[in-house]
Structures are given as C-alpha cells and as structure tokens.
Amino acid sequence: MVRAGLDKKPREVAEMFDGVARGYDRANSVMTVGFDRRWRIKTARALDLKPGERVLDLAAGTAISTVEYTDSGAWCVAADFSLGMLERGKEIGRDVPMVAADAMRLPFADNSFDVVTVTFGLRNFVDTEGALREMARVVRTGGRMVICEVSQPQFRPFRFLYRRLGLPVLPLLARPVSSNPEAYRYLAESMGTWPGQRELAEIISQAGWTDVAWRPLNLGVVALHRAVKP
C-alpha cells in the first residue's frame, strides 16, 4: 500500500491520494462522524461568495466542495495534484472545471481569482509558506483566502486525549471503508504534527497575507483561517 511520509515528497503524496480516491469521501464522513459536511458548510459561509466571482478550490480532491461552492453563483475550478482524485470526481458526475495542479507552481496567471480556498489540504503541501505565497500570486489585490484545516485543541486535557486516543483510532475507522487504509496512518500522523491556530496565522502573515483571523471549530480540532491579499 502507498503511504506518504511526513517529509511530504510530492510524488508520494500524489500516489497516496490516488490510492484512496475511490473511497475518500465516504472514509472522511465515517472518520468525522459526518462533521465533514458541517465543516464544508462553515467554510462556504466564511468564503461569502458572490455571483460571478472566480474561485480556486485548491487541493479539491474529488471536487465535493467545489460543486457546493457553485451554489452561490460563483465560477469555481477544482485543482488538485492527484489525478486519481480528479478522475474520481469526474466519474461520479461532479460537473465543474478540473485542473491538475502543483500548489507550488500553479498553472494560472497572476491575479486570476477573486478567492482561493483549501479544505484539509494545506498540511499536505511540501512547503506551507511557499504554497501560501503562490496562492497569493494568483489572487487579485483585495481578494480573499479561506483555509479549513485540522488544528490543535487549545484545552490541554482534551489535546492530550485527542493525540493519545483520537488520532490513533482514525486509521482503524478508515479500514472498512477506504480503498487504501494504510494511507490513513500518514493522515493521522500529519494531523498530530500540524501547528496550532495562532502558529498557522503567523505563517499566513509571513506569506504576505493581511487581516488574518481564525476561528476554532469543535474545540479546536479544526480551524478556519481567513485573510486578504494586500
């Protein structure tokens, strides 16, 4: 089974997600007890999309979030490094533009989008700050960014339980419903090493974004970060 390491070599990450593509959406729903849908709704609200806006949904996977964003009347494109994920999205009928794209070298011109968003994909990029800078390049001045990503619970006793009990259970929950259960060991490990909300906000600021704000969800297990391109 393909399993990427925490050094996040791009080819390994892409191959790993190719391997989980068929059961990815279902495994996410099982592992999050249905909260994945709620988090996508909260992300859409934070985006506050307007009809006609151009939206880049990066690390879009099977384009499940991209399709939901089009309900606003915005024009949305799904971009992902995993061809397997995009092909799965097409296979199940998700009718949005899809582009194979490396987050470190996006195939779009400067100032192409009004909004860029990433849902549970930022931690898989080999260089977080570099990807954030590249995202800023393709967004117009005054454009917005919203990141929905795992985080670290702020309440210390709960953080201890989350790391010692919650994360090790995730691969076990994925095993019956995933097309590549071994890959979920990497996903759980990457969640445990990801920075907290304030630390990620600092990285976003260092990448050139302004007006950075964040909101913890579910006791800080997940967080939304918002920012504006100056």
Higher pLDDT, 95 or 191: 95
Q: How many CA atoms lie within 13 A of 17 on its CB side?
A: 27
151-204 per-position pLDDT tens digit? 988 877 767 776 767 676 766 666 666 666 666 677 777 777 889 999 999 999
Contact 56, 136 (CB under 8 A): no
Q: How far from chain centre, in Å, is Cα 117?
A: 8
Lowest mean pLDDT among 15-24, 65-74, 156-165, 166-175: 166-175
Give mean pLDDT, residues 144-149: 98
Query: What pLDDT score does 4 carry?
Result: 45
26-48 per-position pLDDT tens digit? 888 887 889 999 999 999 999 99
Query: Which pTM does this prediction carry?
Result: 0.90
Contact 101, 125 (CB under 8 A): no
